[in-house]
Amino acid sequence: MASRRAFLCAVTAAGLAGCGGRLNETELGDDDQGADGEADQQTVGGDGVVNVREFGASGDGDTDDSEAIRDALDAATDGETVYFPEPEEAYVLAQSGEEPVIEISGERHADDLTLVGDGQGSVIRVADGTSRSYNLFRVVSPDDFSLTFRNLVLDGNRRGVGEFSGPGECLTFRDNAATGSGDMLVENVEVRDALTVGINIQYGGVTCRHVTSRDCGTHGIGVATGWSGVHDPSPRLEHCYVADNSQGPYGTGIDFSNGKGIAEDVVIEGTQGNAGTKVSVGAIDVEYRRVRIRNNRGVVFQNTGEHDGASVTFEDVIGEDNDGPFRLSDTAQYTVPEGSQLVMRDNTVDDRGQIFLTDDAVLEAEGDVCSNRTDGFPGLHSNTDATGSYIRNYVHSATGGRGIRAAENLTIFNEDERMVADIRGVPLPGDVGAWRLPGLLEESPGAAENE
């Protein structure tokens, strides 16, 4: 039986005849032959580029382009780029079997593969009327696999799919049978309107850089390496903007459910659920570095599970104008490193205080802990049952004379009353997320063709 790829070679349009969107040998003259008499591999759109349009993807917003995109991915070889030119409307992915999903496998697909578009116009969307759980893209078999998503919009079409309980995710890195990690990069990508989670990361070796995740039903980004047990290298969220997620009561902007993860130079805002960000059952080591958590309906941060030995670090983190406190709870170790700051201000709180240390939590703060503008409620409150907590420098202002409600099992070495409203170097919304680096768009095949 003829192979799928051979069949594709036979049916490609005559003007662009060939395999994988490349010109074939019959179209080349003698001067185009290599030294061994074989045709040089020239790719439509440039060397090493496989164009989904040449496999039949229409991008008209109605036609199911799933099979065409699968064919393009199957045709790509190591180190090549699968290119999604800006479509008329969107590349639509409809259900296939149990799930409308494009599965990319480190065992089956080419290594060092890049999926790239032209930017905000290169939209890939779940089809209207989807009635079962979906992953728009799911990446499996990550062991020693290199994969990049760049300059794309992944649209979960939350308002257009049918009514079902989910999950419905735009980009999922999940394989509970994984035995090792790869090198996965999501860069200059916007993820939006997922039924549940925008990006779900369940093994190590994944980096999201200059990513926007917005308007998703539960979490903007979820990190849970405990599902696979492959924790290292820790998933990294760098220069990300996570906004207006969690349309129900239980979601968060960024959810470090279990395992390991790092958020660095990130803004979380507009979450409608119970927290801007949280860790939960099974967390091992989570780090927040230069993170702004603002204007979220729930608490700034919380811990929602028993965590024996869990470690959470806050290095230059600010929480402002949220509808709840900064809650350090459960059995966990919280750290504010020397030379850094933890700043809470203008959050809506009650008598528990703006910074609340409770349960069996331990806080070790060599850096400054600052609590400002609490509308008369306490700036700090500790009733933890665990011993060993301390704050090297506690700074508070505009707390109605209630800088500290109680400090059970908490030692404060220095206390200062002054205003600390912000932290230098912590990004604002306009500094992070997708479409902030024009240079990345200039690297797309479409930009190269237009030069």
pLDDT of residue 446: 80
User: In this predicted model, what pLDDT tens digit does every residue of 374-422 receive, in sequence order?
Assistant: 999 999 999 999 999 999 999 999 998 889 999 999 999 999 999 999 9
Q: Which residues of 110-146 are buried (b: 16+ CB within 10 A; e: fewer)?
A: beebbbbbbbebbbbbbbeebeebbbbbbbbbbbebb
Mean pLDDT of 420-428: 96
The average pLDDT across 287-294 equals: 98
Q: In sequence order, what are the residues at sequence separation of 6 or more whose Cβ sits closer than 8 angstroms to the Cβ of residue 188? A: 119, 150, 151, 209, 210, 211, 434, 435, 437, 440, 441
Which tops the pLDDT comparison, 342 or 25?
342
- Per-residue pLDDT band for 99 (boundaries 50, 70, 90) equals low
Q: What is the mean pLDDT of the chain?
A: 88
Average pLDDT over residues 66-90: 97
360 DSSP assignment: T
Write out pLDDT tens, residues 151-198. 999 999 998 987 766 789 999 999 989 999 999 999 999 999 999 999
Which positions ≥6 away from 438 have C-beta within 8 Å?
A: none
% pLDDT > 90, the chain: 75
Q: What is the mean pLDDT of residues 130-144?
A: 91
Q: Give the pLDDT mean for 273-285.
A: 92
Report the interhelical angle of 66-75 vs 4-11 (nearest 10°): 110
Structure tokens that stand for 18 in this block: 């060939």
User: What does the pLDDT average to over 344-348?
Assistant: 97
pLDDT band at 91 (very low <50, low <70, confident <90, very high): very high
d(CA 121, CA 88): 9
Per-residue model confidence (pLDDT) at position 444: 82
Work out the pLDDT band at 28, boundaries 50, 70, 90: very low
CA gap 38, 389 in Å, rounded = 71
